[in-house]
């Protein structure tokens, strides 16, 4: 049983504690999905999470705000049970983040579907020539009458190939660099959208390279103001970056649980493995990493929920620390399993694959360091 003591920290309200307990029980009863077909598993997880009512937290209904503590608790809990379930939940939130924060009433109708698990969403920012350097976005949306013509490519797009709608960031040219981008809502059945390649990664989930071939978009597809696409993207990441930390925390907690069970049960040199002091040292390091990550993740989430306009520094610290710490915790848990640690079918083996990409996407670790250093230097 994972440590639940963090739920009594002052960051939380009773509704968060109830959410954590309720979701944990739901996961134990329901998350037994076959992962052999990743697309089918994701579709089924989105539908299940919708029916269970959990996806309503992934987007903000009319007049509501996203509750970042709820997002983090859900991601942590799902990640502890099933990485693909966390992915399915997270992408409904990230994909629709721009609509939750800036959508028109018409655009928000999509939220009714994504929050019910009846439509799958995606967030399309990264391009072959611009990953960390968003200001170099080359995809263009050129004004044409009362609409736009979209051309370009996006890569590493989660849910690419199975999504019902994509939020796409493109250059509209109001100014050079980051000040000339806008965000658009693109339904997947729009003529001209091409799935060029499905990308396979160490922890399988739907991922694709997309091409936009002279796609005609109505003016009403624009999310937020023209030329404000970079701010839209950064505002979305400001909310969801802490939740990546929460997912990493969930993976780390699971790894710690697996390690604890293993060292209590495994007999070596005439005693359980946990009696060796060097093993106890590893356990202490893991427990410390888990709690330090939880403190930073929920500090960032609480700060945002208390009304801070931006939490770039707090979210960067939370994401950087939690993802790097989870990698260490999982690696140690795997080591304590010996040969079984690298064996298919063992939880620590899949956690070892699951954690890696979190140190790269939504801002790589080095990019988070730049954010933290800038905040420190500006203070």
Ligand X SMILES: Cc1cc2nc3c(=O)[nH]c(=O)nc-3n(C[C@H](O)[C@H](O)[C@H](O)COP(=O)(O)OP(=O)(O)OC[C@H]3O[C@@H](n4cnc5c(N)ncnc54)[C@H](O)[C@@H]3O)c2cc1C
Q: Tell me which residues touch ligand X (CB under 6 A).
A: 123-126, 131-132, 156-158, 201, 207, 357, 360-362, 364, 366-367, 370
In the complex, what is the shortest distance from the CB of residue 236 to ligand X, in angstroms, rounded to a whole number? 10
Taking a C-beta distance cutoff of 8 angstroms, is the pair 148, 221 a contact? yes
- CB nearer to ligand X: pick between 262 and 313: 313
Nearer to ligand X, 86 or 305 (CB): 86
Is 127 marked active-site? no
Burial 289-327 (b: 16+ CB within 10 A, else e): bbeebbbbbbbbbbbbbeeeeebbbbbbbbbbbbbbbbb
Q: Which is nearer to ligand X, 156 or 251 (CB)?
A: 156
Question: In terms of CB distance, is 242 or 332 closer to ligand X?
Answer: 242
Running DSSP on this structure, what letter comes out for residue 103? -
- What's the closest the beta carbon of residue 233 comes to ligand X, in angstroms? 9
Q: Extract the tokens encoding 141.
A: 């949306």
Class of residue 278 by CB neighbours under 10 A (exposed 0-12, middle 13-18, buried 19+)? exposed
> How far is the C-alpha of 78 from the C-alpha of 1, rounded, in Å?
14
Judged on CB neighbours under 10 Å (0-12, 13-18, 19+), 207 is: buried
Shortest Å distance, C-beta 203 to ligand X? 8
Q: How far is the CB of 348 from ligand X (least distance, A)?
A: 20
Pairing relationship of beta strands 222-223 and 267-268 according to DSSP bridges: unpaired
Name the residue nearer to ligand X (CB basis): 41 or 207.
Answer: 207
Chain position carrying tokens 């795997």: 334
Can you tell me the distance from the alpha carbon of 282 to that of 173, in angstroms, rounded to the nearest whole number? 53
Residue number with the smallest Cβ distance to ligand X: 131
Rounded to the nearest whole angstrom, what is the least distance from the CB of residue 239 to ligand X in the complex?
15
Q: Give the Cα separation of 204 and 194 in Å (integer).
A: 21
Six token digits for residue 275: 């009696």
- Residues with a known catalytic role: 362
């Amino acid at each position: 049983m994972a440590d639940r003591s963090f739920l009594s920290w002052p960051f939380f309200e009773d509704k968060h504690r109830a959410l954590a307990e309720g979701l944990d029980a739901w996961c134990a009863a329901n998350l037994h999905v076959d992962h052999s077909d990743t697309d089918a598993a994701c579709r089924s997880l989105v539908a299940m999470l919708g029916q269970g009512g959990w996806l309503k937290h992934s987007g903000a209904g009319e007049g509501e705000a996203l509750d970042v503590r709820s997002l983090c608790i859900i991601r942590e809990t799902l990640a502890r049970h099933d990485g693909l379930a966390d992915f399915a939940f997270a992408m409904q939130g990230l994909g629709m983040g721009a609509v939750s924060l800036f959508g028109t009433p018409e655009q928000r109708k999509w939220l009714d579907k994504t929050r019910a698990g009846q439509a799958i969403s995606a967030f399309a920012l990264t391009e072959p020539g611009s990953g960390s350097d968003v200001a170099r976005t080359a995809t263009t949306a050129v004004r044409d009458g009362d609409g736009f013509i979209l051309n370009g490519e996006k890569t590493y797009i989660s849910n690419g190939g199975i999504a019902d709608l994509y939020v796409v960031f493109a250059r509209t040219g109001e100014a050079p660099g980051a000040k000339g981008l806008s965000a658009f809502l693109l339904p997947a059945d729009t003529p001209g959208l091409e799935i060029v390649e499905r990308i396979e990664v160490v922890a399988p989930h739907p991922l694709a390279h997309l091409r936009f071939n002279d796609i005609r978009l109505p003016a009403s597809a624009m999310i937020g103001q023209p030329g404000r696409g970079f701010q839209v993207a950064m505002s979305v990441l400001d909310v969801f970056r802490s939740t990546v930390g929460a997912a990493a925390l969930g993976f780390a907690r699971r790894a710690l649980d697996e390690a604890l069970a293993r060292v209590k049960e495994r007999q070596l040199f005439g005693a359980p493995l946990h009696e060796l002091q060097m093993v106890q040292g590893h356990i202490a390091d893991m427990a410390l990493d888990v709690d330090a990550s939880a403190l930073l993740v929920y500090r960032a989430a609480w700060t945002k929920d208390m009304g801070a306009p931006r939490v770039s520094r707090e979210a960067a610290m939370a994401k950087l620390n939690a993802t790097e710490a989870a990698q260490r915790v999982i690696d140690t848990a795997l080591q304590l399993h010996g040969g079984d640690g690298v064996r298919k079918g063992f939880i620590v083996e899949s956690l070892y694959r699951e954690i890696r990409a979190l140190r790269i996407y939504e801002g790589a670790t080095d990019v988070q360091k730049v954010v933290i250093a800038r905040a420190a230097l500006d203070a």
